[in-house]
Each structure stands twice: as structure tokens, then as C-alpha cells.
Amino acid sequence: MHVNDRALVVSFSDQVKVLSEITSDHEVLKLAIRKVRPEGNSGVYDALSFVVTRKLQPPPERTAVILFSDGVDNDSSEATFESSLEKIASTQTLVFPIQFNTYRARSRVAPEGSGFNEKDYARADEYLHQAAGLSGLGVYPAENISDLEGAVAKIIDELHNEYSVGYYPRKPLQPNENRRVEVTTKFPQLVVRSRTSYALAPNGTVTPIARIGFTPPNESGAKPSMRNSNETKSAVDERWICKSTNAPTNLVVVKEGFDAKCPKSKRLNDETNAWLIRRPQGNEVMCKGFMEWQGRELAGAPIPSGYIVTSATTSLACSKSKDPEDTTNAWIIRRPSGSDRVCKGFPLPRGFVMVSEVVVPGCPETPGEFNGWIIRPK
């Protein structure tokens, strides 16, 4: 904490307890934190609703909540998944979730709602992502207690490095009218985190975000996108992740950027350290995702399972290669439709075999005469 920062400490189980009121006295806060004891169930929705509406309203200044939790709720009696998010949306308070990983596979399946069922954890994960998304933020994972210091340090750094952007709308805002705001930057390596919309409340005050339909995970476990109520809902699952060779193989990297929560890039003249990933939709242009690995450059973004690479191309949303002879930084991919020409060097989709070698325009050069295959279903 900086000298002028103030904080309060609240714990929650089957009850919400204020262990310290708002203060800048570090010793009082440390003593309050040491009083926290594990007990009872977990009322996440009640606790977060209580803090943002009763302890931080009206806001004395810019406010934020750092939530330490796995997100699983099995004891809230006043707030729900949806109502607690609505309360967060109606305030200026930023919510930074630090998500503990407490899920363990069990020999006996626990009932849904107990706080130990797989669906309870899927719901918890979605809740934390939506709570953070209302502020244009992300979730900070903590696999174990050693991750906490780094996560909190990144959050504090983000809280003390922020821009305020304002504007005058061309048309006066009408009651209950939703206005969507998109903040962009001309620098593709930067990631913008901001509120996405606002509305005029019946009492004449501007609320920071428009009314939103909050949807818990469906039975398939997919995370529905959080959308403005006037927009067409999309099935695309899109989020930022840190660059990693362990990126999900069922999603596609469509953009690269910088995220303060991720480790710094090891590549010279490349500040990008994060990928925007989503479910692939038909034909896609995906970033190669150049990374430094054991002293050499590699294209680290995985090709989504079931897709083929048909050529290389360039994209302004992706970082460039350090190799001056490699002028491309992205792949064109799609699902195979039968007999197809594909670039060599990539796994074939399940159920397809290579039948001959050919020259494919746009594919990287390979040793020998041919740089591509013709594939067909088995």
C-alpha cells in the first residue's frame, strides 16, 4: 500500500465479518488479517454485495475490492449470482479476483450446490470472470500460497497506473438508455481494460455500466460471453491469457498484446506477452505467436485441434518475426472439407491421411521440392 491508501478487511464464511474498518494504519490491518480463520461454508455473493453496497458506498474516493476466493458459493442467503453482479455493475468499484485453485477430483460425486461438485466450480469460475469483466479486468490465478505476493503486487501496480478518459455525447442520455463505449489504442501491443457501457438511472445519475444479462455456465461447461442487453449474444468464448507453450489447443490466438499480469517478453523489441484467444469460427487468421524458447525463436501459438494450415500471411494484430527473411506472422487456418492442400509440418486432423506431396503457394519453404501435402479422409 502507498502512504495515502486506505483499506478495510472483511472475511466471510457462513457469516460476513468486518475485521477492520477503513483505515490507513498498516498495523491495524495486519492484525485484522491475522484474525482470519477458516470456518463454515462460503457466502461469496453475500460478502461481495455487502462490501460494494454498504462499506464502499457512497465512495469516499476511487475504490477497489481484492477478492481472495475460489468463487464457490454454497451459503449466500440474501444475494444471488445475478443480483451480486448487478450490484457491482451499478457502482464505480473495481473488483480484482484472486482465484484459488481448490478443486479436487473425488471418488464420490458430491451433489450440485454443495460447493464440491464440478458444476459448482464451473459456476464459480464464470462468476469471478464476470465480476472482473464488469471493470474491464481479468482474474488473477493463484495455484498455491506462493502465488499471492506476485498477484497482489500486480494488482497494486495496476491500481496506481490508470488513465481517466471522458467525453461529451452528441445526444443527451435518456432514462434507461444503454450507451456502449469502446476504448481503443493505435498501438496493437497494448491491452485496454475499461468499462464497456453506461446508463442513466431513474434518479438522474449516470451508472457506470448498462444493464446486463448475467448467465451462469450452461450444462456443457462453456462460458457464455457477457454482453450488453441490446447486443446479439455470441457463442464465442474470448479472453486474454499469458503467452505460454501450454496454451489451450481448442482455441485460436487472434491478437497479441501486453498485460501487466503476465511475465515480461524475452524477445528483443517485442513487448507483447499476452494472447487474445477464442473458439475458432470457420476460416481464421491466427497469430504465429513468436516466443523465445531455449535461445531460439519459435511460433508458439498452437494450431486448434481439427484445423489445417493452408498458407502463411501477415496480420497487424500479431507481433513480427525477428528473422528478416520471414515477412509473415500469421497462419490461415480452416477445417478440412475433403481433399485439401495443406502446409507441411503441422499435425493432420484426426481421420485424415497424406496421399501425395505438392507445392502450395503461401506455405513456408521446406527442404526438398515440395512444401505441402494433399490430404483426404481415411
DSSP 40: S
* pTM of this structure: 0.57
Q: What is the mean pLDDT of each run of 10 residues along the chain (378 residues)?
A: 88 93 94 89 94 83 90 91 89 89 68 78 88 83 81 82 81 79 71 73 66 48 31 50 80 86 82 88 90 81 91 91 89 90 88 92 89 91
In the prediction, which pLDDT does 209 show? Answer: 59
7-159: which CATH topology? Rossmann fold (3.40.50)
Q: Which three cell numbers stand for residue 240?
A: 486474454
Q: Which long-range contacts (CB under 8 A, 24 or more apart) does 154-160 make?
A: 154/260, 154/261, 155/64, 155/66, 155/96, 155/98, 156/1, 157/260, 158/96, 158/193, 158/260, 158/261, 159/64, 159/94, 160/2
Spans of all domains in the chain: 7-159, 239-377
In the prediction, which pLDDT does 229 show? Answer: 27
In the prediction, which pLDDT does 214 show? Answer: 55
In the prediction, which pLDDT does 98 show? Answer: 92
In the prediction, which pLDDT does 147 show? Answer: 81
User: Omega before 280 cis (within 30°)?
Assistant: no
